């Protein structure tokens, strides 16, 4: 069972401070014994460990001084009670332990766990211990950590990462900021992260999306008890498998006019493919009609690639208003360039007042101007574009992706979709949303153009803009994950993702129809 928000299609994500406040509430106000809660966490983590690595795995557990270390000692104690070999390496000296963590250490001693002090081990000896274990457990630095790990934790983290052995992280990988998802220094790269009480935002975005592996949430207490603490979520997690039921059902007598007309304005000299990708993606994502306004020399290529798209070659901004008049949603920016042609196109799009997706060079042009707030636009920056719009560095954006997205939304209004690991969607009328998923194969030119086309198509079909953007981002990642199953990471192309859109939508339609039958 997981703690969910009032919207059953999303899961609340909390700051580390909020989760620690929930923990204190359970102990101080609800009378839950702190050591029993620690035992519950350790039992849950051990159960998950055994489900992922069944049989008789031997464990090497790296323990810190706080409650995270206490969890580690109790995981080792559980392993011993089940007849498994378990060794604990105290990265923080045992004499620093106090409270529940000390009780956990004593229980591990009583249950026959082998306890070693890192200070008394050479680097070679520690590496040999790791080489002899089947699974390594990271229980060093918990949710109270921020900054860059100091010695001896930094060395221990490096050892785990170079061991080549599977790693389970307890609550949060050591070195990761559980609130922001930033990792300033060394950070454990886990295969599985088992987290407790409340799901932490930082595990799903930024570096967290890359180092946590599969995140398993163990609430330990019932939903009502945790929610009674009054702690407010920072964001919501939206998974495609749940949220795709928000796609509208198509009536048997539907026609193309019911699903919107998307106009893609894109493709200056040298960038013709960007507009073609966006237009084809819009078509594959269900838009009723799709038009493409691009440089004249790309008309033939666009028609050859996707003949269902209505393509118009334009050389001057004055040619655009007639096309804009017919559109319901406009996508502007892919391959737009920053020449006078791109400036003219963007000016006409903005002046039209039509709902619009602004991406790539449209954002770069905007970055040189004073903010022009609008509730009609969706901005889709990657971290570099976000940094230009905010007047900061990419490192500052990545240090707190949620803060960057919400700052952009406050400046420019509308909806902001910050691309990157753990997509962040910020809107005025709802909690920020985190979209998990994706893969490293998406790190190639043209993927953002595909997303822009999908966004245009969903905005044309879904009444609530926040839902449309959430669905579009989720669909994009779902199709990319499907494509990588056959293409792999290194060979993945944007066109592969477009090819996988129909099947992802077919599965979503099956969900919608099934839900309608159940409710009907």
Q: Which residues of 391-402 are buried (b: 16+ CB within 10 A; e: fewer)?
A: eeebeebbbbbb
- Binding residues for (6S)-NADPHX, as ranges, are 67-71, 142-148, 171, 274, 335, 382, 449
- Give the domain 10-236 fold: Rossmann fold (3.40.50)
Say how far apart CA 314 and CA 323 lie, in whole Å. 10
- DSSP-derived pairing of the beta strands 289-294 and 310-313: parallel
Average model confidence (pLDDT) across the chain:
94
- Binding residues for AMP, as ranges, are 419-423, 448
Q: Which two structure tokens, joined as six digits, stand for 150?
A: 């100091």
Residues facing 503 on adjacent strands = none
pLDDT more than 90, % of the chain? 90
What pLDDT is recorded for position 482? 96
What pLDDT is recorded for position 158? 98
Say how far apart CA 489 and CA 425 lie, in whole Å. 25
pLDDT digits (tens, 9 = 90+) for 28-81: 988 899 999 999 999 999 999 999 999 999 999 999 999 999 999 999 999 999
How deeply is 194 buried, as exposed, middle or buried, from its count of CB atoms within 10 A (0-12, 13-18, 19+)?
Answer: buried
What pLDDT is recorded for position 518? 54
**DSSP single-letter state for residue 291:** E
Domain spans, the chain: 10-236, 255-519
Q: Give the chain's largest Cα–Cα span.
A: 82
What pLDDT is recorded for position 509? 85
Q: 255-519, superfamily in CATH?
A: Ribokinase (3.40.1190.20)
pTM: 0.94
Instruction: Give the number of other Cβ atoms within 10 Å of residue 233's Cβ.
Output: 21
Q: Which residues of 462-491 are buried (b: 16+ CB within 10 A; e: fewer)?
A: beebbbbbbbbbbbbbbbbbbbbeebeeee
Q: Which two structure tokens, joined as six digits, stand for 386?
A: 């976000």
Query: What distance lies between CA 271 and its chain's CA centroid?
Result: 29
What residue has token string 């129909």?
502
Say how far apart CA 153 and CA 173 lie, in whole Å. 12
What residue has token string 């920053």?
338
- DSSP-derived pairing of the beta strands 86-90 and 114-117: parallel
Contacts of 360 (CB under 8 A, 6+ apart): 274, 333, 334, 335, 336, 385, 448, 449, 452
- Binding residues, as ranges, are 67-71, 138, 142-148, 171, 174, 274, 335, 382, 419-423, 448-449
pLDDT digits (tens, 9 = 90+) for 128-186: 999 999 999 999 999 999 999 999 999 999 999 999 999 999 999 999 999 999 999 99
What pLDDT is recorded for position 512? 67
* Ordered per-residue pLDDT tens for the chain, 520 residues: 233 334 578 999 999 999 999 999 999 988 899 999 999 999 999 999 999 999 999 999 999 999 999 999 999 999 999 999 999 999 999 999 999 999 999 999 999 999 999 999 999 999 999 999 999 999 999 999 999 999 999 999 999 999 999 999 999 999 999 999 999 999 999 999 999 999 999 999 999 999 999 999 999 987 677 678 889 999 999 999 999 988 988 999 999 999 999 999 999 999 999 999 999 999 999 999 999 999 999 999 999 999 999 999 999 999 999 999 999 999 999 999 999 999 999 999 999 999 999 999 999 999 988 778 899 999 999 999 999 999 999 999 999 999 999 999 999 999 999 999 999 999 998 999 999 999 999 999 999 999 999 999 999 999 999 999 999 999 999 999 999 999 999 999 999 999 999 999 998 887 766 655 555 5
What pLDDT is recorded for position 77? 98
Say how far apart CA 357 and CA 346 lie, in whole Å. 11
Considering Cα of 75, then 78, then 83, then 88, what sign does the dihedral take? positive
**Nearest 10 degrees: CA dihedral of 483, 484, 490, 492?**
10
- Binding residues for K(+), as ranges, are 68, 138, 174
Say how far apart CA 276 and CA 264 lie, in whole Å. 9
**DSSP single-letter state for residue 204:** S
**DSSP single-letter state for residue 430:** E
What pLDDT is recorded for position 369? 87
Say how far apart CA 396 and CA 231 lie, in whole Å. 27
Helices (H), 265-353: 272-284, 299-305, 321-326, 340-352
Say how far apart CA 223 and CA 5 lie, in whole Å. 10
Say how far apart CA 64 and CA 61 lie, in whole Å. 10
What pLDDT is recorded for position 225? 72
Inter-residue contact 42 to 74 (CB < 8 Å): yes
Say how far apart CA 254 and CA 272 lie, in whole Å. 33
């Amino acid at each position: 069972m997981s703690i969910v928000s009032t919207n059953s299609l999303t899961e609340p994500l909390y700051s580390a401070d909020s989760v620690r406040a929930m923990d204190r509430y359970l102990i101080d106000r609800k009378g839950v014994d702190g050591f029993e809660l620690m035992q519950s966490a350790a039992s849950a983590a051990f159960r998950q460990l055994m489900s992922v690595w069944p049989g008789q795995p031997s464990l090497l557990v790296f323990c810190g001084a706080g409650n995270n270390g206490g969890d580690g000692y109790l995981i080792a104690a559980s392993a011993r009670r089940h007849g498994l070999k378990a060794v604990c390496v105290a990265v923080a000296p045992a004499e620093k332990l106090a409270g529940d963590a000390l009780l956990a250490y004593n229980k591990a001693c009583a249950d026959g766990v082998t306890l070693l002090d890192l200070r008394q081990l050479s680097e070679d000896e520690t590496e040999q211990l790791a080489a002899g274990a089947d699974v390594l457990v990271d229980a060093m630095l918990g949710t109270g950590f921020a900054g860059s790990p100091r010695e001896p934790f930094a060395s221990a983290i490096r050892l785990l990462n170079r061991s080549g052995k599977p790693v389970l992280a307890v609550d949060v990988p050591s070195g990761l900021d559980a609130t922001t998802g930033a990792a300033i220094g060394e950070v454990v790269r886990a295969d599985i992260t088992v987290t407790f009480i409340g799901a932490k935002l930082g595990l799903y975005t930024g570096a967290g999306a890359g180092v946590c592996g599969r995140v398993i949430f163990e609430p330990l207490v019932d939903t009502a008890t945790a929610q009674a603490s009054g702690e407010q979520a920072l964001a919501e997690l939206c998974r495609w498998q749940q949220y795709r039921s928000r796609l509208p059902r198509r009536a048997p007598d539907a026609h193309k006019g019911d699903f919107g007309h998307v106009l893609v304005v894109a493709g200056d000299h040298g960038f013709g493919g960007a507009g073609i990708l966006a237009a084809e993606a819009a078509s594959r994502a269900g838009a009723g009609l799709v038009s493409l306004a691009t440089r004249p020399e790309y008309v033939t290529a666009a028609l050859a690639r996707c003949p269902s798209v209505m393509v118009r070659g334009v050389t001057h901004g004055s040619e655009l208003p007639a096309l804009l008049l017919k559109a319901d949603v406009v996508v502007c920016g892919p391959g737009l360039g920053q020449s006078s042609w791109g400036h003219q196109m963007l000016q006409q799009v903005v002046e039209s007042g039509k709902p619009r997706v602004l991406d790539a060079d449209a954002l770069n042009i905007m970055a040189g101007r004073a903010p022009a707030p609008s509730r009609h636009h969706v901005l889709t920056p990657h971290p570099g574009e976000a940094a230009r719009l905010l007047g900061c560095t990419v490192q500052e954006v990545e240090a707190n992706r949620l803060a960057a997205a919400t700052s952009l939304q406050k400046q420019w209004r509308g909806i902001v979709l910050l691309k990157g690991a753990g997509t962040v969607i910020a809107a005025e009328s709802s909690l920020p949303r985190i979209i998990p998923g994706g893969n490293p194969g998406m790190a190639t030119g043209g993927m953002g153009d595909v997303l822009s086309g999908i966004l245009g198509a969903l905005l044309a079909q879904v009444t609530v803009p926040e839902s449309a953007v959430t669905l579009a981002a989720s669909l994009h990642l779902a199709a990319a994950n499907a494509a990588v199953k056959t293409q792999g990471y290194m060979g993945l192309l944007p066109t592969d993702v477009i090819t996988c859109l129909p099947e992802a939508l077919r599965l979503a339609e099956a969900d919608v129809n099934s839900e309608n039958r159940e409710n009907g």
